A = this chain, B = another copy of it.
């Protein structure tokens, strides 16, 4: 199975990278752009056949290594 962990800064945490991207998109001629948030995505191949076990493992990985849960939130998706 594959686990896809998406990590974004929590609401209220300043995101200068997102701000810079938003500004650059405006300058490139995309006036419809509003707030931009930049984050990370990590795709993990898991040698695991049970989706629930894969999710539990991926959440533990996110908590322990991938995300800084003080300032970041994460979401786990499990793909076939």
Contacts and interface: CB of A to CB of B under 8 A. Distances in A.
Contacts of A52: none
Contacts of A57: 30, 32
A55 to B, nearest CB: 13
Residue with the greatest number of chain B CB neighbours at <10 A, chosen from A22, A33, A60: A33
Contact of A43 (B39, B43, B48): B39
A52 to B, nearest CB: 14
A72 to B, nearest CB: 12
Nearest to A6: B41
Interface of A: 6, 8, 18, 21-22, 24-25, 28, 30, 32-48, 57, 60-61, 64-66
